[in-house]
Structure 1
């Protein structure tokens, strides 16, 4: 069973930072509960398909040199994790934010994204 820290890292790199649809979907099904709730400033969506559409919309529409990267330390407890991130060309982020996950049974049940203004 993955740790909260491992789930945070996999969410950022294997899902939202992954441009390959097949491996991204495999990661989603391994990391997230089927009824996962994803909340960001735009909307709240539920389920694997909706989460996949959100991830695809971010990376598939971005320039090829845009990548997600950790932005500092992650913070974890038994069932919650927080990771700051950047998105953009290496060393010159276009966006910054924080992901907050809730974990039950070794899977992410809620992912909340907050953006830096």
Structure 2
């Protein structure tokens, strides 16, 4: 089994996994999610792609996931309401952690995409 050798790829996967793990915290805080939260499944899949996909261009997939879920968090009331009420500790903390995970995943996906390919020995 292939596991990402780049520290940037591992950090991108970790960021997306943290964002996914924040969703059950948000649910425990009373945020409205479907029975099977699609964001949880999508973020977990993105983390696996970042960690296990061999070609470097495959990191475009988790980067796009992070961008779209970040955009979705901004345009929906769910995240804005949670961030606007720090008294609701679980929802607030889960949303902050999820945002940090999304940013981390996106930044390290971009850094990994920008890495130079290792030179092949001649």
Q: Same fold (TM over 0.5)?
A: no
Higher helix share: 2
Q: Which has the larger radius of gyration?
A: 2
- Indicate the structure with greater strand content: 1
| Greater RCO structure (CA 8 Å; 6+ sep) | 2
